[in-house]
Chain A
Amino acid sequence: MNAELVLMGKRISMASRTRRRWLVVFIYVGLAGITGLCTLYYSFTSACVVVIATWFVNGFFLGGDYLGGLVKPFTGKPIESPILESIPGHLLKWGFHRATKPTENDIRSDEREVLLRDRAHYVAYKVIVFAIMFPLIAILDRKDGLHSLPASTVPLDRLLFNFFLVAWAIYATLPQAMLVWTEPDMEQDQA
């Protein structure tokens, strides 16, 4: 895991676990706000906004899926964030880039990191079951004509759409967030 983030051109030390936990809290508060707003506007754009928000979070803060962020790419391949590829000029202008080119050490996980990655996915796998169970319960509630759930007046398409937006936001970020949350304080490189 990387010990620092480059944000607005500044290097921020993330060696302290407390800082990383705060970052995770801020990210989920932000994602909750964005997803909450998107569920109000029932449109394709809102789905795109949530997907782009998770790409942004993973590409620049959490990592995991792409180069950049705290966690090294899970696949061990130097995949650029689609956000960075699509509008690189804006992001570079804002300074959201790493000052140096990624080295092999930034890309490849060592054996311990691979084990931690797999463990995080094992835990996340059990959490993500809600993404299947909640919609199933909602459908069964309608299918059997019970309408006993609180949101029973909301049309099913809309309810499921909202469920899946939340599920996607959690699915795309949870393993990385767990790694960032649980990793103990790191030793900083001596400048």
Chain B
Amino acid sequence: MKAELNFFGKTLDMAPQRRRRTLVVLIYSAMAVLMVVLYLLTHWRGTGAYMFWAAMLACRLFLGGYYTGGLVKPFNNKGPRRYDMPPPLLLLKLRIYQPVPSSDDSAYRNDERELHQRDHAHYLAYQAIGVSVIIPMFVASMRVIRPALLAWIPMNPDEIYYGLLLIALTLFLTLPQSILLWTEPDMETSA
């Protein structure tokens, strides 16, 4: 895991556990707010995919893991793709472009301890994802047995399913990284 975050040209020290936990709380709060706002504005019609993009952006900028960039090294142990073309001007202007590390760089290679941590984080996240499968299953079962029981919810049943699955997808993309960031103790910063 990296101890520093490059964000719009600034280097943020993320070695203290407290800062990383704050970051995780902020990310999930922002996503929750985004989801509520999208529901209030459009009932997620045509905008539900924004949650997916938001989760991807959070991974690329802050969390890492399933995408390159962010604090957690790529889970697949592979470096970013190399292109012959120059980096996009937008990324350079926004100062979020990170040069591709050399093949022997440890920026994306997980050591044995990090691989174990990655696997353990997925073990924990698997339980949570199970809950996110059970809840829509429960709703579907309720709709089978007594549809009237869910009538008090002021949402269309399709929207309930859609919302629950959007939450599940967001968790799926971000939870293992968040667990890693949350549990990793204070790191030593390089002098």
| Nearest chain B residue, comparing its CB with the CB of A131 | B133
Asked whether A42 lies within 8 Å of B144 as measured between CB atoms, the reply is yes
Question: Which of these binds chain A: B11-19, B118-126, B183-191?
Answer: B118-126
Write the nearest CB–CB distance from B109 to chain A, whole angstroms.
17
A133 to B133, CA, bound (A): 11
Asked whether B133 lies within 8 Å of A164 as measured between CB atoms, the reply is yes
Q: For chain A residues 133-157, which have a beta carbon within 8 Å of chain B?
A: 133, 135-136, 139-140, 142-144, 156-157
A25 CB within 8 Å of chain B: no
Asked whether A164 lies within 8 Å of B119 as measured between CB atoms, the reply is no
Asked whether B161 lies within 8 Å of A44 as measured between CB atoms, the reply is no
Asked whether A44 lies within 8 Å of B116 as measured between CB atoms, the reply is no
B172 CB within 8 Å of chain A: yes
Asked whether B133 lies within 8 Å of A160 as measured between CB atoms, the reply is no
Given contacts A118-B119, A157-B143, contact A128 B126 (CB under 8 A): yes
What residues of A have a CB within 8 angstroms of the CB of B145 in the complex?
A: 43-44
Asked whether B122 lies within 8 Å of A139 as measured between CB atoms, the reply is no
A171 CB within 8 Å of chain B: yes
Asked whether B141 lies within 8 Å of A44 as measured between CB atoms, the reply is yes
Given contacts A117-B123, A122-B119, A143-B45, contact A136 B165 (CB under 8 A): yes
Write the nearest CB–CB distance from A117 to chain B, whole angstroms.
7
What residues of B have a CB within 8 angstroms of the CB of A119 in the complex?
A: 119
Provide the B165-178 mask, 1 if CB < 8 A to any CB of A, else 0: 11011001000100
Asked whether B165 lies within 8 Å of A139 as measured between CB atoms, the reply is yes
B140 CB within 8 Å of chain A: yes
A171 to B125, CA, bound (A): 13
Asked whether B144 lies within 8 Å of A164 as measured between CB atoms, the reply is no
A73 CB within 8 Å of chain B: no
What residues of A have a CB within 8 angstroms of the CB of B172 in the complex?
A: 129, 132
B96 CB within 8 Å of chain A: no
Asked whether B162 lies within 8 Å of A143 as measured between CB atoms, the reply is yes
A68 CB within 8 Å of chain B: no
What residues of B have a CB within 8 angstroms of the CB of A59 in the complex?
A: none
Asked whether B144 lies within 8 Å of A171 as measured between CB atoms, the reply is no
Q: Label chain B's interface by main secondary structure.
A: helix
| Nearest chain B residue, comparing its CB with the CB of A74 | B123
Asked whether A132 lies within 8 Å of B168 as measured between CB atoms, the reply is yes
A179 CB within 8 Å of chain B: no
B132 CB within 8 Å of chain A: yes
B157 CB within 8 Å of chain A: yes
| Nearest chain B residue, comparing its CB with the CB of A139 | B162
- Residue with the greatest number of chain A CB neighbours at <10 A, chosen from B46, B122, B145, B172: B122
Given contacts A44-B141, A47-B137, A164-B133, contact A132 B169 (CB under 8 A): yes
Contact of B136 among A42, A133, A160 (CB under 8 A): A160
| Nearest chain B residue, comparing its CB with the CB of A117 | B123
What residues of B have a CB within 8 angstroms of the CB of A172 in the complex?
A: 130
Contact of B165 among A132, A144, A168, A175 (CB under 8 A): A132
Asked whether B161 lies within 8 Å of A168 as measured between CB atoms, the reply is no
Asked whether A139 lies within 8 Å of B161 as measured between CB atoms, the reply is yes
What residues of B have a CB within 8 angstroms of the CB of A7 in the complex?
A: none
Q: List 5 A-B contacts (CB under 8 A).
A: A43-B145, A44-B145, A164-B136, A165-B137, A168-B137
Given contacts A119-B119, A132-B129, list 8 more A-B pairs with CB under 8 A.
Answer: A47-B141, A74-B123, A118-B122, A136-B165, A139-B158, A156-B157, A161-B137, A171-B133
